[in-house]
Amino acid sequence: MLLAAVVAGCGGGSGKSTRLVVSAASSMTEALESCAPKFGDAENADVRLSFAGSDELAAQIRQGAKVDVYAAANTRIPDELHADDLLSTPVEFATNEFVLAVPKDSDIGSVEDLTKDGTKLVIGSESVPIGTYTRETLAKLPPDQEEAILANVRSNEPDVKGIIGKLTQGAADAGFVYVTDVNPTGGDLKAITLAKDLEPNVTYGAGVVKQAEQPELAKKFVEDLTEGDCALALADAGFGRAP
């Protein structure tokens, strides 16, 4: 089913001759949906976007899914794919800010507030980057605080959208997400910035899949992520530029 989803992609059908399949982390949905059609028009290609958790997309590539570009919400998974000779040398193309998201009228103002008994916290599953960043961040806290916060976790979601959905529906009190996921909620959620010593370094990495059917076009798309329309779209969505 998931492989079929990749093959079918999310882009609309058009009469263009070449097709570029881009697998990207969920957090880039809005940004890439706005810039990919422009890239497609310029290159006369049908760009098919497939969004899911970075780990899941990587698993699809490992299972042989026909993907041209892979763009992840961290650099670890692209590095692993490269090490296994499944991806070109990854390029760092954007950064994101890891924040605490809460409903707009919430009393929660800091990570320390999450230790309170009965706080419903929703985080990413251990296998997705957002979940890894969350656990790394919590591990920097004093052990008793870390323990109290982890005891309040009520769901390990397979991607960021699940965390945001649980928050906007009032099912949870707080969640760790990227600042770019809070912006599109139209003010329903607010982002609480973490102390500098807690904040993880969130860098996005992308590369051309070794089995790509359009390696040249895929390379151009990766370049577009670093300095083209997609780089601008990512900046508009609140992403930072990779150092």
- Binding residues vs other proteins (CB under 8 A): 2, 53, 55-56, 58-59, 120, 122, 125-127, 153-158, 162, 165-166, 169-172
Nearer to other proteins, 166 or 220 (CB): 166
Residues 35, 52, 138, 120, CA torsion sign: positive
- In the bound state with other proteins, the residue whose beta carbon lies nearer, of 41 and 126, is 126
Measured distance CA(174)–CA(184) in Å, rounded: 17
Q: How far apart are CA 83 and CA 11, in angstroms?
A: 30
CA-CA distances (angstroms) from residue 36 to 69, 72, 138, 179, 184? 12, 16, 36, 22, 18
Q: In the bound complex, what is the minimum distance in angstroms from residue 161's beta carbon to other proteins?
A: 10
- CA 151 → CA 58, 111, 119, 132, 167, distances in Å? 30, 14, 9, 17, 18
Contact 176, 130 (CB under 8 A): yes
Encoded tokens for 58:
């990587």
Closer of 56 and 146 to other proteins (Cβ):
56
Cα–Cα distance for residue pair 31/22, rounded to 1 Å: 13
Nearer to other proteins, 120 or 210 (CB): 120
For other proteins, which is the closer residue by CB, 128 or 222? Answer: 128
